A and B are shown apart, each in its own frame.
Chain A
Amino acid sequence: MAFTLYTLIQTTILCTNAIAVLHEERFLSRISRGVDQGVGGFGDDPGVKVQTLNLIRSVRTVMRGG
């Protein structure tokens, strides 16, 4: 498979864009609902789901500016 650096840049931009345009109501709140009512993440092990949601939220904050 002939990948070029340009393909890599394109891939990262498209993936970041995909994360930024996720719809809050339909998608993200459904996933967050199960998590927020849980531990609260103060143990020393937040868990994979909490980490992914944090990551998505931070990417959206940076990309959308608030």
Chain B
Amino acid sequence: MDNTTRPSTISPEFSLYAEKNNLFELFQRCTSSLLIDRPDDPLTYLIDLLNKDFDAPKIIILGPPASGRHTIAKMLQKKLNAVVIEPSEVLQSIPPKFKDRLPPNANSSNICASLWAELYEHRFKDFDCFRQGWILVDFPATREQTLALQSRGIFPKHVVCLEAPDTVLIERAIGKRIDPETQDVYHITWNVPNSQIIQERLVQLEENSEKQMILRLKEYRRNIDGVKDCFKSILRAINADQPLNDIFAQVYSYISRKPRSVVPRTPRVIILGPTGSGRKTVAIKISHKYDIPLISIPTLIKQQIANQTSIGNTMKPYVARQSLVPDSLLMQLIRERLNQNDCTTKGWILIGFPRTREQAESLARTSTTAPNRIFFLDIPLDVALERLSQRSLDPITGRRYHSHDHPVSSNEIKQRLIQHPTDNNEIVRKRYEEYMIYHDELQEFYSQQDAIHIPADQDAYTVFEAIESGILNPLSKDEY
């Protein structure tokens, strides 16, 4: 046989390596930088880029006056060690080459948008911005400024917009006091300084009087929608009318999540749960919608036995005796199935496995069988009992009925309905208890992998949506 005409197989190890090292995003970043800068020598440019490629935060905080932007920005700076940049600071350190392009008496309001963008671009080239990331406050304030920034290739990764009704903001502003010596912000109701000395020297800024606030808010409201429109996909609106710590917690958790990327991905999902939790129902829905092969272990075993394969024949005596098939046989079967082409390219959804900690460990051992999403469908025993005892099947048409959710339409059909022998109360109870025995150790084993718990006693569509968002959204900061 001529070796050169053998069909080529691409090892699944390649795509696993690419996933693990986030290669897609890396190439995406390289390509977008290349397109923005269009260097004449891409090779040197790329080497430079790779050397300096850090995943630094790039955040913009928007919000009406008195919403707490500066406070939040300072808190973020402490947490992330990024550089906070305000327009006044940029104005103070203008490099010489821009000085002659400034209008006389340059201040925040009379510099044109494109000049602003250039000034910011220059500031970003500083090493501290590059390394540690930047947080912008109070800029961009208008749509023009936003577009100017974008045309220079400056894109934030996260944009936070604080929102609160005008009355709340005005009330806050009126009570705001500044310590002229330290520039710290206090409030007469919510944030009183400790010492008497500081209290005495606090002043109220003119801009925080009611009249001024109304003007400033009008100006803000006029412009903010234009700005928000430019950031649609990365914007998150956060209610500013909450305690400061709550606001900060929400902002921080949003910043910590990577944006949902367009990476072609293979979800390897396991759905665990006691009998009656609806695993198969939701797994079938996901499998249809995303074209992911569904592998149900009990079904797989029955198939092997029915087809009388060698594995099937080995398993048959165990199943006949109603005892569990030994792990080694199961793992062999699973490994074979998961290594087939449809699973390695599209991913898989596994239900009915693992049941014990040892099985979970064997699964995790090889990269093609290790899951990257784990779901627990939690349901109390009585709900499971109720669901399963109402379940029945029409043997002639094959349709399933449930006395509450899908009741039978005619008496005739009702006569011939049968119940699955394992849906009987006693057996359900026993199966539930068996599940719970291993549930704790499985939960502990998978807790390091960010397993997601979903309350399963809701309607099927809600559970489906919960699992769908669990699969599509990135798990945590580092992974996808």
Asked if A and B are interacting partners, one says no
Taking beta carbons and an 8 Å cutoff, which residues of B are in contact with A?
A: none
List A residues at the B interface (Cβ < 8 Å).
Answer: none
